[in-house]
Amino acid sequence: MGVALSLAAGVAFGLALAAPPGPMNAVIAEESVLHGLSAGVRAGLGAMTADAVFLVATLLGVVGVVERLPTLRGAMLAAGGLLMLYFAYGAARSARAASGFDDRETPKGSPNRVTAGDAGSRGFRRAFVLALTNPYQVLFWLTVGVALLAPGRMDLLARTPLAAAGSLVVETGSPALVVGLFGGIALWIAGFPAGLAAAGRRVDRLAPAVAGASALVLAGSGVVFLADAARLLGG
């Protein structure tokens, strides 16, 4: 399999992984419609940075301990679930307060001054910390991520929420697959916020609606994480 084909397959895989609804996209969506394109992209970069950290840690053998210790996975799930519920509360408050899309900075001298840079940094930190407390993301890199670099064959889309088995079988063992994977994720975290920000400028009520939907996704994910944590820690 040539480098170009490996890159293309990796991009398709990255897009398929990044696009489905979930807590990361909920944070990206909320930041995009409330604070603009830059904040949404930075939130996506926070999640992608965590992926890069996991990849390096997995290759070094650091995160293998997560697979061997159910108690640690349970603790991570509990922490992630509580964080998601906390972020859901913040998103719900933002949905109630937002009257429409506004990516302008708060005027100087305001006691509640928030610059575009502040909002973007907050989104990056939220997504990064949320991803770091997600043991499922760790286990993905420990299994599928490392397997991309080992010689063999893999049905890529069967490993995504799309579950499109048999539609993208590739030869693994090429670093180009991993480069393409991050390229696909980068395309999503640039295109998704851009689309939401553009729509938000045209539809005033989109911002509170998206923030409200993000709150629901985060709350639902938080409940699922806490239930899984209780199962692991209680067993």
3-state secondary structure the chain: CCHHHHHHHHHHHHHHHHCCCCHHHHHHHHHHHHHCHHHHHHHHHHHHHHHHHHHHHHHCCCCHHHHHCHHHHHHHHHHHHHHHHHHHHHHHHHHHHCCCCCCCCCCCCCCCCCCHHHHHHHHHHHHHHHHHCCHHHHHHHHHHHHHCCCCEEEECHHHCCCCCCCCCEEEECCHHHHHHHHHHHHHHHHHHHHHHHHHHHHCCCHHHHHHHHHHHHHHHHHHHHHHHHHHHHHC
Higher pLDDT, 170 or 204: 170
Q: pLDDT band at residue 102, thresholds of 50, 70 and 90?
A: low
Return the top range by mean pLDDT from 41-45, 68-72, 133-137: 41-45
Mean pLDDT in residue range 87-109:
67
Lowest mean pLDDT among 8-17, 184-193, 196-205: 196-205
pLDDT for position 29: 92
Mean pLDDT in residue range 160-169:
65
Is the CB of residue 154 less than 8 Å from the CB of residue 170?
Answer: yes
Calculate the dihedral angle through the C-alpha atoms of 111, 116, 122, 127, rounding to the nearest 10 degrees.
150
Q: Based on the structure, what is the number of domains in the chain?
A: 1
Range of the domain at 206: 3-234
Mean pLDDT in residue range 53-61:
85
